[in-house]
Chains A and B, each alone.
Chain A
Amino acid sequence: MNSETLNTLDTYSKNKYKYGFVTDIDNEKPKKGLSEDTIKFISLKKNEPKWMLDWRLKSFAKWKKMKEPKWANLSFPEIDYQDIYYYSAPKGFEKKPKDLSEVDPKLIETYNKLGIPLEEQKVLAGVAVDVVFDSVSVATTYKGELEKLGIIFCSIGEAIQKHPDLIKKYLGSVIPPGDHSFSALNSAVFTDGSFVYIPEGVKCPMELSTYFRINAENTGQFERTLIIADKGSYVSYLEGCTAPKRDDNQLHAANVELIALEDAEIKYSTVQNWYPGDEDGKGGIYNFVTKRGLCAGKNSKISWTQVETGSSITWKYPSCILKGDNSIGEFYSVAITNNFQQADTGTKMTHIGKNTKSKIISKGISLGKSQNTYRGEVSFLRKAEKARNYTQCDSLLVGNQCGAHTVPYIDSKNNTAVIEHEASTSKINEDQLYYCRQRGLSHEEAVSLIVNGFCKQVLQELPMEFAVEAQKLVSISLEGSVG
């Protein structure tokens, strides 16, 4: 690696995070720490029915007996669960504002600054947004229009009130609270997130999107999202996330469950840009996320696309359980780590039904002193006749102090399964840089172009409205400053 490349990398590592501001707003919190009282406080604030509180308390009882999973390639100090606030809401938020005139202007301004205007006429055309600020949903756009089609798009808190039957039937059906300690924790203290139900035969005409923002200090965010696509329906959903710059680490432990019934398709995209910490590794979000989709019906399809650029620690494996015959699971991922970030991310594809297919495309890019791990498990159960998987994992190393790791597990109990696995690890190619620069592109432009090219297979899976944004984000994650 020549000296100029190293210089460019050095400026990259002084990455500027443009979402790092804090909104100065009075908030309401319970006492710090996790206890039955905390859970009762949250449940009361959300005005929940007793069955919901009982579910939370049962989950809490399970959590108390569990230990954090330790198998990931991550190192971080012990999380002190008693030193965290589990709920934070702007004052006077017992009831969700009916419309924007009831929303604190400071909040509206926050979202304007983040590029997510809440007034519908200013919103990206064809995208409905639910915005979650710390523990509460602030606003959901285009609700009326969606209701006409029978689509339910609201916060999970609202769904518990208005659609208890759907919640009781599906909540925890894909990720049981006792699955592991983070799912138990989330089930006990989850605050807000989105709920989506697409009725039979309806193709949702717009992108549904949730924007998560952590603002309050020492506060964990425990989002819970549940999406149900009924028979023959289709929905594309996108989430984005940011948080202020702080020196302390903050915990984000989300659970996302997807259910696709017969012939239904769910496309779920994530652009994760939580605060990654500074160039010395101080601060940043601990992102422990459980995302799992169930292809319950025949011919159903679930597709995960993720662009992971933020968080100091990412622990995340969006998975598909391919239960229905002929169902399809897909996972497309770009994970970029810089400075001292650590990412351990990948997927799990569990083939149960006949003729089920899965496809995994993972692109990891490591810079600075970061560690980037792909971890995946593909399993074929006994009845998964003629199931297929294709996996491609590519790692790109930029600089000589970072690490890339690939940990694939394959387990087949059916000998008709077809499994393909391709993997590559490469360093950024000096000849490519020389070529681009000889055409007049700066060193930084050249790196950004080559990395974007490396990720293209994944980025092109994003909904069009966000593909350009995601490309910019990839460049920003590499660049020294924001344009």
Chain B
Amino acid sequence: MFLEINDLSVKIENKNILKNLNLNINKGEVHAIMGPNGSGKSTLANVLAGKEDYEILNGKINFKDNDLFDLNIEERAQEGMFLAFQYPVEIPGVNITPFLHSAINSKKKRMNEDEIDNLSFAKLLKSKASDLGINIDMLKRSVNTGFSGGEKKRYEILQMSILNPDLAILDETDSGLDIDALKIVTDGVNKLKTKDNSFLIITHYQKLLDYIKPDFVHVMVNGSIVKSGGSEIAAEIEKDGFQKFQ
């Protein structure tokens, strides 16, 4: 098993958010989690990435034969977990190119691979950027600083394609995107998909799933997964909303 979440319960500030949640993801699979606001979708993404504000009450998570709770945030990232943020934070003065260069090299270091030099990295970055229709000028700017909502999301996908993760978690990546931006972002994801990596796509709306075809759809309500199945569930939700699952 690639990612195995068993009986996970999590609370933050005395509020139980996730309740006995179970989820298994195999290599090469695309999973979508849908649910109403406040159902705990983003909490799940942040607990997987290792954000420290949460208290784990019980449960276990295995990721690539590691007990996930033994790894800190950067170790999880270096092991191949990537979170595309819902609201990417601005980091003024930190240029994108060296930032991503350090990121990829820290991953290579952990994997005992040779680090990538400046020149090869610049080439890689340029080619990935042009694949995603990202202007080269954007690579001269500071991380997320002064970016529009669409630019930020596109830039998350660029980082994802550079770091080439084993498990990519997309947290409401579709929110705030117009249809053109959505197409670019989802094209990027589809290009990255292989039989060796997996995706966990968190979304509120069914629209995103018109562009990325999930193998499994899960409905999350009130901190638990209440229903799992194929893409027919997404259509059901579009028709009737989340009401009937609550």
Contact = CB atoms under 8 A, between A and B. Distances in A.
A429 B73 contact: no
Given A4-B72, A434-B73, A435-B85, A440 B93 contact: no
Contacts of A102: none
A112 interface: no
Interface stretch (B59-67, B101-109, B214-222): B101-109
Given A449-B94, A449-B99, A437 B77 contact: yes
Contacts of B85: 435, 438
Interface residues of B, number: 31
Interface size class of A (residues with CB under 8 A): 20 to 34
B93 A441 contact: no
B43 interface: no
A449 B88 CA distance: 17
Interface in A451-483: 452-457
B175 interface: no
A3 B72 CA distance: 12
Contacts of A434: 51, 73, 89
A74 interface: no
Contact of B74 (A3, A437, A454): A437
In this complex, which of B73, B100, B103 has the most chain A Cβ atoms within 10 angstroms of its Cβ? B73
Contacts of A431: 89
Given A437-B73, A438-B73, A440-B78, A445 B102 contact: yes
A4 B103 contact: no
Contacts of A437: 50, 72-74, 77
B6 interface: no
Contacts of B122: none
Nearest to B145: A453
A297 B65 CA distance: 72
B89 A435 contact: yes
Contact of B91 (A440, A445, A450): A450
28 contacts: A2-B53, A3-B52, A4-B72, A431-B89, A432-B89, A434-B51, A435-B88, A435-B89, A437-B72, A438-B77, A438-B83, A438-B85, A439-B77, A439-B99, A439-B159, A440-B107, A441-B74, A441-B102, A441-B106, A442-B74, A445-B106, A449-B91, A449-B99, A453-B91, A453-B92, A453-B93, A454-B93, A455-B93
Given A438-B50, A452-B93, 20 more contacts: A2-B52, A4-B52, A432-B89, A434-B73, A434-B89, A435-B88, A435-B91, A435-B143, A437-B74, A438-B77, A438-B82, A438-B83, A440-B110, A441-B106, A442-B106, A449-B94, A449-B102, A452-B94, A453-B142, A456-B93
Interface of B: 49-53, 72-74, 77-78, 82-83, 85, 88-89, 91-94, 99-100, 102-104, 106-107, 110, 142-143, 159, 163
